[in-house]
């Protein structure tokens, strides 16, 4: 291979290839030298009085991979002397730090792999000590998370018509939770709070004044009272929206409760068929294929009550999708309440009662049509991060990792 092609392979503009020293089964050693003859003095920043004064033993730097082989670059440690400053120094290369064995490009590649897997897996993949990569990864993570968090808060503060999303996700389901604050319009995770109790939320607002300086026009959250109380205290002028996904879940659960009641009255064959196909009741009817639609019609024919409950659920989807304004939405929702109460089923009555209690927040969706769909997707990424990193115990690094995981793809 000609030296110019080796230079392209290495992609190190400040050095040029002298020769390929060794090609092994797993390694490729290349000797290089600086393109320039001299380097500026680190004190006076001048080239005029700098002379070469011998060299130290050459350094071997690990630099990426090519053709399935690990590339090692052998660089000369040239000694220089400035006659004006009367100081000696050694040639410094921009692609590697002084005294280090790994180039910046190689470290960046190893760290990128560690963010998608684990440090141990990345270290094994790149044939380097896990402790070394762990140190480099933690240093990079601290810098990257600080940079990203500063950027997302600046964007949130400058965003016109800011819409926030608030939702919890489990560290240990049923026991320990975190709360995420999201910029829905900016598609970013702003911060992670420990816990979800009202006292913990209030403590966060007191400690982070920049949160209270935000001016959201709306905040989307589930039906947890502590979130609504907290947001009402922090942003009294913001529209509080009950997240569509969480509200719709109450309707789905009521429909499935009707299905379970219906099952007990059917023959064994019909009961088994309904139980096997009960998930067909959940999605929108229009989203089903022709074959699935026939199967749905078959199970709905088992009971008139089940058919009415399914039509009631479909009407709720239509209410969300087709209400043109708030006034129409209010009238339509009242009709839907009456339709549910006429079925006289305890599960449906409980669902109607819950949505009546949160009627203002539910109808507010038609004032500002935002949902926490993106937040739920981000929660899944957080849970995947937790499993991948075995639930990092260090709280600070845990939060840093989640901020990078959720924001790096957008902000780089």
Over the stretch 105-150, which tens digit does the pLDDT of each residue have? 999 989 888 888 888 888 888 888 999 998 999 999 999 999 999 9
Q: Domain for residue 130, yes or no?
A: no
Same-domain pairing of 185 and 85 = no
Return the pLDDT at 386.
83
What is the rounded average pLDDT of the residues 377-396?
83
Same-domain pairing of 239 and 255 = no
d(C-alpha 137, C-alpha 130), whole Å: 10
Which domain, by its residues, includes 260?
244-366
Same-domain pairing of 163 and 253 = no
Return the pLDDT at 338.
95
Average confidence score pLDDT of the chain: 91
83 Cβ contact partners less than 8 Å away, ≥ 6 residues apart: 49, 50, 51
CB 63 within 8 A of CB 105: yes
Indicate the residue among 101, 123, 141 that finishes a domain.
101
Q: Domain for residue 287, yes or no?
A: yes
Q: Domain for residue 150, yes or no?
A: no
Q: Domain for residue 353, yes or no?
A: yes
d(C-alpha 379, C-alpha 392), whole Å: 16
Over the stretch 34-48, which tens digit does the pLDDT of each residue have? 999 999 998 998 998
Same-domain pairing of 234 and 378 = yes
Q: Domain for residue 204, yes or no?
A: yes
Length of the chain: 412
Q: Domain for residue 29, yes or no?
A: yes
d(C-alpha 145, C-alpha 260), whole Å: 48
Same-domain pairing of 309 and 325 = yes
Q: Domain for residue 113, yes or no?
A: no
Return the pLDDT at 195.
87
CATH number of domain containing 169: 3.30.420.10
Same-domain pairing of 390 and 311 = no
Grouping H, G, I as helix, E, B as strand and the rest as coil, residue 68 is: coil
pLDDT confidence of 232, banded at 50, 70, 90? very high
pLDDT confidence of 245, banded at 50, 70, 90? very high
pLDDT at 273 over 90: yes
Q: Strand pairing of 176-183 and 163-172?
A: antiparallel
Same-domain pairing of 237 and 274 = no
Over the stretch 75-102, which tens digit does the pLDDT of each residue have? 999 999 999 989 999 999 999 998 889 9
d(C-alpha 241, C-alpha 217), whole Å: 11
CB 291 within 8 A of CB 312: no
d(C-alpha 28, C-alpha 375), whole Å: 46
Q: Domain for residue 123, yes or no?
A: no
Return the pLDDT at 2.
62
Return the pLDDT at 391.
64
Return the pLDDT at 318.
95
What is the rounded average pLDDT of the residues 5-33?
87
355 closest CA partner among 259, 202, 246, 214? 246
Return the pLDDT at 287.
92
Same-domain pairing of 303 and 393 = no
Same-domain pairing of 235 and 251 = no
Same-domain pairing of 248 and 355 = yes
Same-domain pairing of 390 and 338 = no
Over the stretch 287-337, which tens digit does the pLDDT of each residue have? 999 999 999 999 999 999 999 999 999 999 999 999 999 999 999 999 999
204 Cβ contact partners less than 8 Å away, ≥ 6 residues apart: 193, 211
Residue 53 buriedness (CB in 10 A; 0-12 / 13-18 / 19+): exposed
Same-domain pairing of 349 and 391 = no
Q: Count of domains in the chain? A: 3
pLDDT confidence of 228, banded at 50, 70, 90? very high
pLDDT at 3 over 80: no
pLDDT confidence of 353, banded at 50, 70, 90? very high
């Amino acid at each position: 291979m000609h030296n110019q092609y080796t230079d392209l392979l290495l992609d190190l503009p400040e050095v040029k290839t002298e020769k390929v020293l060794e090609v092994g089964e797993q390694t490729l050693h290349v000797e290089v030298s600086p393109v320039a003859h001299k380097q500026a003095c680190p004190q006076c920043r001048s080239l005029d009085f700098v002379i070469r004064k011998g060299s130290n033993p050459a350094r071997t730097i690990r630099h990426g991979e090519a053709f399935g082989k690990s590339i090692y670059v052998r660089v000369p440690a040239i000694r220089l002397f400035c006659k004006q400053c009367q100081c000696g120094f050694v040639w410094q290369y921009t692609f590697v730090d002084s005294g280090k064995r790994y180039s910046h490009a190689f470290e960046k590649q190893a760290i990128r792999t560690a963010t998608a897997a684990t440090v141990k897996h990345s270290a094994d993949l790149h044939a380097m000590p896990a402790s070394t990569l762990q140190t480099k990864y933690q240093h990079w993570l601290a810098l990257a998370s600080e940079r990203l968090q500063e950027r997302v808060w600046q964007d949130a503060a400058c965003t016109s018509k800011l819409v926030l999303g608030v939702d919890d996700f489990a560290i240990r389901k049923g026991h320990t939770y975190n709360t995420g604050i999201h910029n829905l319009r900016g598609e970013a995770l702003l911060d992670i709070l420990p816990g979800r109790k009202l006292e913990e939320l209030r403590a966060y607002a007191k400690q982070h004044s920049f949160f209270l300086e935000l001016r959201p026009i709306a905040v989307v959250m589930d039906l947890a009272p502590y979130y609504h109380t907290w947001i009402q205290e922090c942003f009294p002028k913001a529209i509080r929206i009950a997240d569509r996904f969480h509200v719709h879940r109450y309707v789905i659960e009521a429909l499935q409760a009707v299905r379970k009641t219906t099952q007990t009255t059917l023959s064994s064959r019909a009961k088994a068929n309904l139980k096997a196909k009960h998930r067909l009741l959940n999605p929108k009817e229009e989203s089903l294929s022709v074959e699935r639609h026939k199967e749905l019609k078959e199970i709905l024919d088992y009971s008139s009550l089940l058919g009415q409950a399914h039509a009631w659920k479909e009407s709720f989807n239509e209410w969300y999708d087709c209400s043109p304004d708030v006034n129409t939405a209010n009238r339509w929702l009242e009709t839907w309440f009456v339709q549910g109460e006429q079925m006289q089923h305890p599960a449906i009555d409980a669902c109607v009662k819950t949505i009546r209690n949160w009627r203002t927040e539910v109808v507010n969706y038609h004032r500002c049509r935002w949902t926490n769909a993106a937040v739920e997707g981000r929660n899944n990424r957080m849970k995947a991060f937790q499993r991948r990193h075995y639930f990092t115990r260090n709280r600070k690094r845990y939060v840093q990792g989640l901020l990078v995981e959720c924001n790096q793809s957008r902000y780089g």
